[in-house]
Chains A and B, each alone.
Chain A
Amino acid sequence: MTTRGCYGPAAFAILVAFGLTGCGGGGVSKSKATIRLAMVTDVGGLGDKSFNDSAYAGLKRAKTELGADIQVLESKSAADYQPNLSALADENFDEIFAIGFLMNKDLAQVASNHPKGHFAIIDAVVDQPNITSVTFREQDGSFLAGALAARVSKTKTIAFLGGLDIPLLRKFEAGFSAGAHEVDPNVKVLVKYVGSFEDVASGKELAQVLFSQGADIIYAAAGKSGIGAIDEIRSRPSVYLIGVDGDQDGLAPGKILTSVLKRVDVAVFTVAKDILDKKPPKGHLEFGLKDNGVGLTDFQYTKQIIGPKTIAEVRKLRDAIIAGKITPPQTREELANFKPVKL
């Protein structure tokens, strides 16, 4: 090998290293911060206009309202979870948020290696003294979306489009189906999964498939893949979509009936505020309709399309769930046994 040949791999390694540093995101540290908070995103990353962005919104709110110092590390793949969590745990943060259930095992390990640190995980329950588990009653919000979709649908066929076929997403699916059948047992609910939270093109293609199979409303709980479904409804007349996690209503005004909010931001902010108020950290926090952790948007662009009667009906269902008269199913097994409740 010539001497010149040695520089190639080295130069290449440097290039790659530069490429990799692009993965980290950074907060600016301020000297007079009250509390220090950090989060690790899931692979969807910031800009998903959904789950991760919602968590980030909570962090930003903690920054403006509580004066918190915040930092974000983005995960490009599951292999980044542990290095990201460890990197943050080595610094002195009051709370480190793991955004996404996929991090449960990595977080459990990092947390036991850093017994003095405190952590929170969204969407998973990890039973460890220095971890707060935060979950949501997604099935409750999805139930309301299902009832709404069943009422608005002209073809009496509605569809659920999920990201990955996993228990968490089945909570959305089961709640949605049950809500539809609560108001109209004859509505057909189609169910498809993209197999990815990032495959925008496949999200769009599956939306086309669902529309051609007769659906006129799609409830898209598929992360960035859902952006593809939103792209598809823009060019089609008389079809609608229901968004998820964040408020997506403005992404296609008048075409997105509502969004099933999963207020990860409320959860993140609540945990942050508890720290500032010196409340002892909780082991498990569950957010639902009652505490606005889950809910629908206020139909800013679609009141006309939905109509006051349906809006009132959805509100009634919401109250019934809060009062415990209806318990939306969260698995397919529970869905199979779900009987519409006479109110």
Chain B
Amino acid sequence: MSGIQDFVVLTLVKAAPLIYAALAGVVCERAGILNIALEGQLTIGAFTAVAVSFATGNPVIGLLAGVVAGALVGLLLGVAATRFGVDQIVAGTGINLLALGGAAFGLTVVFGQPGASAEVSALGVPGERGLIVGAFVAALLLHLALYRTPWGLRTRASGENPRAVRSAGIDPRNVRLIATMLGGALAGLGGVYLSLGELDLYSDGMTAGRGFIALAAVIFGRWTPFGATGAALGFGALAALQFVLQRSGVPSELMQALPYLAALAALTGIAGRARAPQADGVPYTE
């Protein structure tokens, strides 16, 4: 097998969950909700999919359950942020901890063992490939939805100037709520990709920080679906390169840190101008 082909495939495999999570970050932040709970949404999506596939024997139902569970976690963040005015960073951090603890607890309830689940019926190679293609389709759809529909206009306006949205007779808090649910569903799908697409099990900590790398991809991709997808692909390529070239002189720790350095570069303007949505992370109160 050719090395180039391996590298391309590995890049796509590594990038797919990052794309889903990064798109989730984009839709939330464009609506004005800073979603640092991506890691938790990946976790809950991954776990729920495996648990439901185990219970029903049907991985497709597992996939749907993972998406719904992700959306519910998104809703939790949305409600905390828009209805109760909780600081979004605090809420997101709480949800990440809750998700990790909840999945660990769920493992003992559903599988009767801590740490890792049993192997369940999964989506297999066609499912994995389908989900990789799906990530790009999702990016395209989100782009069209954000820039070509009234919903997209309202969503972007809620992230830039929620008062203007209010004066048009729409409650920006509801717009944000819908965005967090959609984001949660996307991140949940990213989790499903990991647990039922690539693998056939859930294991504690298996998301391994992908939610945070996706956050970096959102910034580096300048809060646009295509930008974030490109950044996620770039980070995927870095990870793939690191795997193939390991121990050829470049310290692997440095390669692993590159996504964060890239995000930092984007934020500090080294890699061009990056501006977050004006009302990103700012609670809307009347």
Binding site for B on A (CB under 8 A): 1, 4-5, 7-9, 11-13, 15-16, 18-23, 25, 43-49, 52-53, 74, 76, 165, 191-193, 195-196, 198-202, 204-206, 208-209, 212, 224, 227-228, 231
- B200: CB under 8 A from chain A? yes
| Given the contacts A8-B85, A12-B84, A200-B206, A205 and B97 also touching, CB distance less than 8 Å | no
A/B interface sample: 9 pairs, CB < 8 A: A1-B285, A15-B94, A19-B94, A45-B204, A199-B208, A201-B206, A224-B116, A231-B199, A231-B201
Min Cβ gap B6→A in Å is 5
Contacts of A204 in B (CB 8 A): 198-199
**Which B residue's beta carbon lies closest to that of A211?**
B1
Is B135 among interface residues, defined by CB-CB distance under 8 A? no
Contacts of A16 in B (CB 8 A): 94, 97-98
Q: Are B115 and A205 in contact (CB under 8 A)?
A: no
Residue interface mask B77-121, A partner, CB < 8 A = 1: 000100111110011001001111110110100000111100100
- List chain A residues, Cβ under 8 A from B194: 201
8 A Cβ contacts from B156-211 to A: 194, 198-201, 203-206, 208
* A246 smallest CB distance to B (angstroms): 12
In the assembled complex, the Cα of A42 lies from the Cα of B55 at a distance in Å of: 30
Out of A23, A165, A206, which one reaches B101, CB within 8 Å? Answer: A23
Judged by DSSP, the binding face of A is helix
**Residue among A8, A19, A48 making CB contact with B86, cutoff 8 Å:** A8
Cβ-defined contact, A11 with B244, below 8 A? no
Q: Which 5 A-B pairs have the closest CB atoms?
A: A47-B115, A8-B84, A19-B98, A22-B101, A198-B205
Asked if B268 CB lies within 8 Å of chain A CBs, one says no
**Which of A13, A20, A48, A165 interacts with B115 by CB under 8 Å?**
A48
In the assembled complex, the Cα of A48 lies from the Cα of B114 at a distance in Å of 8
Q: How far is the CA of A161 from the CA of B234 in the complex (A)?
A: 25
CB contacts (< 8 Å) of A201 on chain B: these are 17, 194, 198-199, 206, 208
A46 vs B114: C-alpha distance in the bound complex, in angstroms? 6
Q: Are B6 and A22 in contact (CB under 8 A)?
A: no
Partner of B204, one of A15, A192, A198: A198
Complex partner residue of B84 from A5, A76, A196, CB under 8 angstroms: A5
Question: Do B114 and A200 touch (CB < 8 A)?
Answer: no
For B114, give its contact among A47, A205, A206 (CB under 8 Å): A47
A224 x B100 contact (CB < 8 A) = no
For the complex, what is the distance from the CA of A8 to the CA of B98, rounded to whole Å?
A: 16
Closest beta carbon of chain A to B177's beta carbon, Å = 14
A182 to B253, CA, bound (A): 32
Select which of A7, A202, A212 is within 8 A of B208 by beta carbon. A202
Question: How many angstroms from the CA of A49 to the CA of B115 in the assembled complex?
Answer: 9
In angstroms, Cα B256 to Cα A193, docked, is 12
Which residues from chain B contact A5 at a C-beta distance below 8 Å?
Answer: 84-85
A191 CA / B252 CA spacing, docked (Å)? 13
| Residue from B107, B113, B194, B205 with most neighbouring chain A CB atoms (10 Å) | B205
Is A76 a contact of B252 with CB atoms below 8 Å?
no
